[in-house]
Amino acid sequence: MRSGCGAAPTLARAAQRPLRAALSHAHGYACKPMPRLSEYLLPTEREPPADAEALSHRLLVRAGLIRQVGAGLWTWLPAGWRTHQRIVQIIREEMDAIGGMEMLMPILQPAELWRRSGRYEGFGEELFKLKDRKDADMVLAPTSEEVITTHAATLIRSYRDLPRVLYHFQTKERDEPRPRAAVLRSREFVMKDSYSFDRDREGLDISYQKHAGAYDRILDRCGLEWYSVEADVGAMGGFGAHEYMAPCPAGENDVVLAPGYAANLEVARAEAQPVVLPSAPAAPEEVQTPGMTTITQVAEALGLPEGALLKAYPVVLPNGSLTLVMLRGDHRVNEVKLALALGSSFRPASAEEIERHLGPPGSIGPVGVQVPVLLDDAVVADGGGYVVGANRPDRHLRGVVPGRDFAFARGDVRAVVAGDRVDGHEVRIERAIEVGNIFKLGTRYSDVLGATYLDRSGVAQPVWMGCYGIGPARIAAAAIEQFADDRGISWPRSISPFAVHLVTLGKEGSEERALSERIYAELVSAGIDTLYDDRDAGPGEKFADAELLGCPLRVTVGRRTLQSGELEVQVRRGQEPRALPLEGAAAAIAELWRHVA
């Protein structure tokens, strides 16, 4: 918070002439102008738009912070933009603190660069493509690895030029297949993306750790509840990645959490809950399962838990070969982990392929098949036997023991479920929104775009890169989701559009109004960001709007204030009321401000 930009005018002077003029002109101080609601654009709505589902979407619109332009396209209105900019500033400070240098790269980029990196086709339908008047192919950048690496190729020449961290805040364009929940997934949004350049892998590790520290501080300062989770390095390749997840109901990811453990469900590993198996006979026995094609049906018919059955998931690799993935009946395949275990992408086998290689879909199994079997790690026999499909219609096999009755390779390919354990602790699974990510790129871009430097011995080496993104809009939405109550938003103080929402209940010309003006001037002079509700409206409406907008402190000036000589301050979170002495109110409010969340 800024401090003192001029003495408050006295009450007497305030009564003599328009206060704002006194503040901004007569005094000549460079006070940050603090809006009166009667002159501000804050279009609050009593009802949310009918198509808004997510809480953050409803509240952002109702509180007058954003408005829609098209699918996935949103305008930030003045108060909303204040929050956005506060988040941007926090990010900027923490990036600068780790030695980042702010710059700006264009959104509109030549397709040529993207062809060279292989992403013109590789990025997929999400990449906005267009042509300029000379018919040259262009793209609207969803991210800036190509441009920054091209710069690095010519601007970084020597080991002395490394390491470096460069970043910018820039609009990103992504033709999302399904924009949703207002700013949670939009087609155009501002992102801070930074890029680190190092001499080698060890240097990259250091840059990565610095970013991890910066991101920790950014999200703490923004007042969010958040987790850093291990992430899938995905299609981009890479040497490691973390995602920063903020738990919230409107989130799009599942995070697996246990004390000391946090991972994206896509990559999470945990110890499965045990299942009691019937003891295995000397050899598998066939059982009749007429018309039963699902795990549930067979388990029920045999009186066994679903975990005592094995589920078959035949997949086809790009080379056309078929692999039979087997996992416990109560588990589900995690496709990301499966691709990792297979070392390749895959697709589920078609019914026709299953029929040809194995048997009738619905009762296929691993015994006697001619295709490789990949057995999930959670399948442990331990003296017992499993029920599997017999590769014949209406038949299953009972008492099947992996290893004895079929050969297999091992892999962890199942999705973790709540109740599994990590280090003895049960895990829980929460919805969360990804607000940032950090990624060790390695030399993927420097190799293809020619970013090399000369090392100490004069040998050209590829630059080792990392990329790091964070989305202010998602941070804002996550903060709303995490802290809103039934009256509206409750901003963490660091990213609230205003610190104080000053409500006057006095009519124009009243004594209360004159007092309000004085308090307003004092707050502004004390450097406190204040929104002053001086509208000619009823108290109910003003309070409702204040609680909807969610500034941490609401200061009310009315007849009661005059009678009691005390100022009423409400802390938004918990709607806790307090009384402060009128004398020295601004200082007391500033002090209170320092202690709210």
Partner RNA sequence: CGGGGCGUGGCGCAGCCUGGUAGCGCGCUCGCUUUGGGAGCGAGAGGUCCCGGGUUCAAAUCCCGGCGCCCCGACCA
**Residue 70 token pair:** 């098209």
Applying CB under 7 A, does 4 fall inside the site for RNA? no
Nearest approach in angstroms of CB 470 to RNA is: 8
Choose between 176 and 394: whose C-beta lies nearer to RNA.
176
Number of C-beta neighbours around residue 327 at 10 A: 26
13, 22, 68, 205: residue in contact with RNA (rule CB under 7 A): 68
Which CB sits closer to RNA, 143 or 525? 143
Smallest distance from RNA to CB 415, Å: 11
| Member of 568, 582, 596, 597 binding RNA (CB under 7 A) | 568
Q: Which listed range, 132-140, 461-469, 473-481, 586-594, lies at the site for RNA (CB under 7 A)?
A: 461-469
Q: How far is the CB of 548 from RNA (least distance, A)?
A: 6
DSSP-derived letter for residue 447 is H
Residue 547 interacting with RNA (CB under 7 A)? yes
How far is 249 from 223, CA to CA, in rounded Å?
Answer: 17
Which residues 524-543 are close enough to bind RNA by CB under 7 A?
A: 536, 538-541, 543
Total site size for RNA, rule CB under 7 A:
61
* Minimal distance, residue 351 CB to RNA, in Å: 18
Instruction: Please give the Cα distance from 575 to 568 (Å, whole number).
Output: 12
Pick from 113, 156, 166, 181: which binds RNA (CB under 7 A)?
181
Residues 141-180, mask of contacts with RNA (x by CB under 7 A): -xx---------------------------------xxxx
Cα 455 to Cα 158: distance, rounded to the nearest angstrom = 6
Strands (E), 62-141: 66-70, 73-76, 101-102, 108-110, 128-131, 137-140
Which amino acid is located at 16 in the chain? Q
Toward RNA, which CB reaches closer, 123 or 167?
Answer: 123
Site for RNA contains 284 (CB under 7 A): no
Q: State the binding string over 100-139 for RNA (x if CB under 7 A, else -).
A: -----------------------xx-x-------------
Write down the least CB distance from residue 526 to RNA, Å: 21
What backbone phi and psi angles, to 5 degrees, belong to 88? Answer: -55, -45
Q: How far apart are CA 547 and CA 32, in angstroms?
A: 24
Minimum distance from CB of 487 to RNA (Å)? 6
- Residue 316 and residue 346: Cα distance in Å, rounded? 6
- Does an H or E element contain 561, and which? helix 559-564
In the stretch 37-56, what mask flags binding to RNA with x, by CB under 7 A?
-------xxxxxxxxxxx--
The residues, any chain, with a CB within 8 Å of residue 267's CB and separated by 6 or more, are 230, 231, 232, 336, 337
Backbone angles phi, psi at 71, to 5 degrees: -60, 120
Q: How far is the CB of 454 from RNA (least distance, A)?
A: 29
Binding mask 372-411 for RNA (x = CB under 7 A): ----------------------------------------
487 part of the interface to RNA, by CB under 7 A = yes
Q: Up-side HSE of residue 40: CA atoms within 13 Å toward CB?
A: 23
Minimum distance from residue 399 beta carbon to RNA (Å): 34
- Three-class SS state of 361: coil
Please identify, using beta-carbon distances, which residue of 70 and 99 lies nearer to RNA: 70
What's the rounded Cα separation, in Å, for the pair 83 and 495?
5
Could you say whether residue 363 binds RNA (CB under 7 A)? no
Per-residue binder mask for RNA (CB under 7 A), 190-229, x = binder: ----------------------------------------
Cis peptide bond prior to 163, omega within 30° of 0: yes
Which listed residue (467, 502, 586, 589) binds RNA by CB under 7 A?
467
Q: Which residues pair with 425 in a beta bridge?
A: 422
Backbone angles phi, psi at 590, to 5 degrees: -60, -40
Q: Of 223 and 469, which CB lies nearer to RNA in the complex structure? A: 469
Q: According to CB under 7 A, which residues from 409 to 448 bind RNA?
A: 436-437, 439
> Number of H helices and number of E strands within the chain?
17, 31
Are the beta carbons of 229 and 418 closer than 8 angstroms?
no
Task: Pick one of 241, 268, 270, 519: the residue that binds RNA (CB under 7 A).
Answer: 241
Spatial distance between the Cα atoms of 121 and 127, rounded to a whole number of angstroms? 9
Candidates 310-318, 323-331, 544-552, 580-588; binding stretch for RNA (CB under 7 A): 544-552
Q: How far is the CB of 444 from RNA (least distance, A)?
A: 10
Binding positions for RNA, 301-340, rule CB under 7 A: 335
Element (H, E) at 578: strand 576-581
**Under a CB-based contact definition with an 8 Å cutoff, are residues 530 and 79 in contact?**
no
**30 CB neighbour count, 10 Å cutoff:** 9
What tokens were used for 54? 């997510």
- Residue 86 in contact with residue 222, Cβ under 8 Å? no
Residues binding RNA (CB under 7 A) = 44-54, 57, 68, 70-73, 123-124, 126, 142-143, 177-181, 234-236, 241, 252, 335, 436-437, 439, 467-469, 487, 505, 507, 536, 538-541, 543-545, 547-548, 556-561, 568, 570, 575
